[in-house]
Structure 1
């Protein structure tokens, strides 16, 4: 078993978790390879090649780290296991006190949880940009500015909305920003898209859950302030008048390794109580 280990050493617990994880993996006969340079910007080519040559990816850090690693692993069709070295760790499969469970990797003794990704395309004039989200894609304005946007569902002509912004979340992202904005909690193994407006200028403030076959198309009209797209909390992209955004189910799956039998709702309650 060849395992790529990618820690985010900015996190306080990451170095200690990494040292212990490497010792456990090597004692079980696994070949552990450090993949440096996956985080903090475009991933280094050498790090991606190291992951591609391994059987799975072990990501050590917080939720942002694990989400970033899971997207890289999804593009390579590799499973990923997150070790929580951050705060909440909704996407982590192992806590620091459970590292002994890593010995099961040598026996391939795990179950796999496939999670839907979200594809986002931005058509701006003659250019086209593509993004992959595992948590959410957020369209928002400058501070204290309301934006207008026109959203079409499938082939319908679309409707115009006014709000501080909106987000399209995956089930994995339903416990992140979407939850704070009033969106529903959705089990991460389901396939759907969750639309949630941010402070809409309307008497109706409801999230809508769409089937995975649905495509949502948003046109950006002229606005008084600047409008941005942010995918999974990464660097924002400024949108222009006339830009057209499409949101639809991604072709790739995030493959999360599970080493425990913890129930999703038990984990949810535990994490939310810990954050209070």
Structure 2
């Protein structure tokens, strides 16, 4: 078996967590690889191999993303199109997508006997038809569109070329079930179990008295068209990273992604247990 580490050393305790994970994995007979960029941090670990993470992530049996939810999202992009499994280890603030906390590394031994559950998370593919050609991306959480100058936006949304509605709002989110507990939740959207398959549309601060999140079948092809009349581009972000800027009468298309991401659940925590533990108790 082979494991690749994807640590974010900007997070507290991520380095000590990654080093301890190397020791636990080695004791279990699991080969460990880390990016060449971190050679000095693991130079005293003879069991560690140094490889390009873009290659090792696709060749490994599983990848350990050590950090917060942002780290896990960035790591997930490396696994698109592969069968590699993803295990998040939380050293961040929330770590809602993580399967383990930093103080649970002894549970890594369960990987050797495949004593874990797999949660397949759907993705979204987004396409922007620019003058220079199509720009594409795949997201695990959401696609967001909003004004670059923080003005209110006018836009239309189509499903399979049928006009769903014309809207005025600060922006709009198109989310996977995994992303329902991220930006979409803060924008007033519902909580969706991550194993479901649907596309959620949530308006951001809509200029109306009546607005509800809308759920679409995963087979729908959605299109969001900017109809704002002033000279102001809508900024499109994918999983929190800038993707494109679109102008008046330009659009983006969103559909179910061609690939799933396989998340490892080592300790049997249900989605609802994690939801209560990490999002309810801190508020109480």
TM-score calculated relative to the size of structure 2: 0.90
State how far apart, in whole Å, the 2-side matches of 1:193 and 1:37 are.
37
Alignment-derived partner of residue 81 in structure 2: 75
Q: In terms of mean alpha carbon deviation, does 121-130 or 170-179 score higher?
A: 121-130
Alignment-derived partner of residue 229 in structure 1: 236
Alignment coverage as a number of residue pairs: 270
**Structure 1, residues 59-84: CA drift from partner, whole Å, max 9, x if none?**
10100101111221133231111100
Task: Give 1:18 shift.
Answer: 0.4
Task: Give 1:223 shift.
Answer: 3.8
2:92 maps to 1:89: no
State how far apart, in whole Å, the 2-side matches of 1:127 and 1:274 are.
47
Alignment-derived partner of residue 269 in structure 1: 276
State how far apart, in whole Å, the 1-side matches of 2:74 and 2:83 are.
14
Alignment-derived partner of residue 23 in structure 1: 23
TM-score calculated relative to the size of structure 1: 0.92
Task: Give 1:121 shift.
Answer: 0.6
Match runs of 1:1-276 below 5 Å: 1-35=1-35, 46-125=52-131, 127-224=133-230, 225-276=232-283
State how far apart, in whole Å, the 2-side matches of 1:89 and 1:146 are.
32
State how far apart, in whole Å, the 1-side matches of 2:36 and 2:11 are.
15
Stretches of structure 1 lacking an aligned partner (at least 5 in a row): 39-44
State how far apart, in whole Å, the 1-side matches of 2:36 and 2:260 are.
23
**Structure 1, residues 120-149: CA drift from partner, whole Å, max 9, x if none?**
111123521111110100001135411111
Conserved 8 A contact 1:135-1:176: yes
Task: Give 1:242 shift.
Answer: 2.8
Conserved 8 A contact 1:37-1:47: no
Q: In terms of mean alpha carbon deviation, does 231-240 or 113-122 score higher?
A: 231-240
Conserved 8 A contact 1:74-1:255: no
Task: Give 1:48 shift.
Answer: 0.7
Task: Give 1:9 shift.
Answer: 0.8
Task: Give 1:274 shift.
Answer: 5.0
State how far apart, in whole Å, the 1-side matches of 2:36 and 2:187 are.
35
Q: In terms of mean alpha carbon deviation, does 245-254 or 72-81 score higher?
A: 72-81
Task: Give 1:12 shift.
Answer: 1.0
Conserved 8 A contact 2:235-2:246: yes
Task: Give 1:275 shift.
Answer: 4.1
Secondary structure of 1:178 counterpart: helix
**Structure 1, residues 29-87: CA drift from partner, whole Å, max 9, x if none?**
1111113569xxxxxx9221122222111110100101111221133231111100111
Task: Give 1:203 shift.
Answer: 2.4
Alignment-derived partner of residue 48 in structure 2: none
State how far apart, in whole Å, the 2-side matches of 1:61 and 1:274 are.
21
Conserved 8 A contact 2:116-2:268: no
